[in-house]
Structure 1
Amino acid sequence: MLKGQDVCSVAELKPGNMKCVFVGTTRILLSNVEGKVYATSDICSHALAYLSDGYLEGCVVECPLHGAQFDVTTGKALSPPADGDIETYEVTVADDRIFVASAQLAPAKI
């Protein structure tokens, strides 16, 4: 049995790219770093800004608002003005689909 919610196809997220998806009402940032997909919160820990509107360079996403940087593989804050790390979520890739799971995430209601 697959773990998590199906959020998009693998083809939608090429290496070096990122994409915002939703699990219920939670914004999730998917990042493809050298062919491996990572999932983190899409919201900067410093201010209400969407990281998916920022820039991904290697494994580092830069917030478009004030330039805070985070490692998308760990969620660790790398530079000010970040107030803390961002949440990370489990990713499973199966049958050309990307699934995101976490105990903190409520699945979308159908």
Structure 2
Amino acid sequence: MAEFVKVASTGEIAPGQCRLVTVNGADIALFNVDGNFFALSNACTHDEGPLAEGEIAGHEVTCPWHGAKFDIRTGEVLGPPAYDAVVRYDVRVTGGDIEVAV
């Protein structure tokens, strides 16, 4: 069963920004979209590009290596060259703490 682990504080990630966090050896891209927080595996499913370094537009992140696009909320693919979704992690905010289930 997954447990929630504190990875950041809400004030550390501005809206429209992302931060790379590592939890139990997993690299996770933590996004703030209009004050809502989402977490995806940092590795693009096309060629393992770093999604935390990608361009964010609304609920979409574009991999900086080859342009694959993913829905930040679900991890689903929105554009090639990737065809598989990235892993999505559950996120909760407790007080000012952002916690990710791993």
Category of TM-score, reference length = shorter chain: over 0.9
1:94, CA displacement in angstroms? 0.9
Q: Secondary structure of 1:78's match?
A: strand
Percent identity, please. 39
Structure 1 partner of 2:13: 13
Length-normalised TM-score, structure 1: 0.87
Higher share of residues assigned strand:
2
Q: Hey, what's the Cα distance between the residues in 2 that align with 1:24 and 1:45?
A: 20
Q: Secondary structure of 2:90's match?
A: strand
1:86, CA displacement in angstroms? 0.5
Q: Secondary structure of 2:11's match?
A: helix
Structure 2 partner of 1:68: 68
Report whether the alignment pairs 1:48 with 2:48: yes
Query: Which ranges of structure 2 fall in alignment gaps of 5 or more residues?
Result: none
Q: Secondary structure of 2:78's match?
A: coil
Q: Hey, what's the Cα distance between the residues in 2 that align with 1:48 and 1:29?
A: 13
CA deviations 1:6-27 (Å, max 9, x no partner) are: 1011111111111110111101
1:5, CA displacement in angstroms? 0.5
Alpha-carbon RMSD: 0.9
Structure 1 runs of 4+ aligned residues shifted over 6 Å read none
CA deviations 1:56-99 (Å, max 9, x no partner) are: 11110000000000001011001110130011111010120100
Which entry has the higher C-alpha Rg, 1 or 2?
Answer: 1
The size of the alignment, in residue pairs, is 100
1:48, CA displacement in angstroms? 2.0
Structure 1 partner of 2:25: 25
Q: Hey, what's the Cα distance between the residues in 1 that align with 2:39 and 2:95?
A: 18
Letter in 2 for 1:30: L
Length-normalised TM-score, structure 2: 0.94
